Copies of this chain bind each other. A is one copy, B any other.
């Protein structure tokens, strides 16, 4: 069920993302995670807007984040993503962020999504399942 090949993208902390203590604010990690997911989906030749026009809306149902080591200003990091099928109608983005260069785990997250069809019902189209390697 777990796609073996992971998608990775490197980023760096921007100063305006840091809070009073000089560390990245908790909510900013969701921005990093979202940017990684969207870049991943784009890398597969898919696009939210185009999917949406076809009547397929990808929706986040649940987010779980474990905070291990805070990123600080100036830090660079690698954001890693794997796909997992959680149920016939739900998929999971298993996401980790590692600090560069010591590979220390920053956060691990599970983002649970589904696809909603035009009648507002969950429906995972076959081509999404295939392109994500979830079949």
Contact = CB atoms under 8 A, between A and B. Distances in A.
Contact of A27 (B34, B38, B62, B74): B34
Tally of this chain's copies: 4
Nearest to A35: B14
Nearest to A74: B42
B16 A34 contact: yes
A83 B62 CA distance: 21
Nearest to A22: B20
A10 to B, nearest CB: 13
Contacts of A28: 27
Contact of A60 (B15, B26, B42, B62): B26
21 contacts: A14-B31, A14-B34, A15-B19, A15-B34, A16-B25, A16-B31, A16-B34, A18-B19, A18-B20, A19-B19, A20-B49, A22-B49, A25-B34, A26-B34, A27-B31, A42-B74, A59-B67, A62-B64, A62-B65, A62-B67, A63-B65
Given A14-B35, A16-B35, 20 more contacts: A14-B34, A14-B38, A15-B34, A15-B38, A16-B19, A16-B27, A19-B20, A20-B49, A26-B63, A27-B30, A27-B31, A27-B34, A42-B74, A49-B73, A59-B67, A61-B67, A62-B65, A62-B67, A63-B64, A63-B65
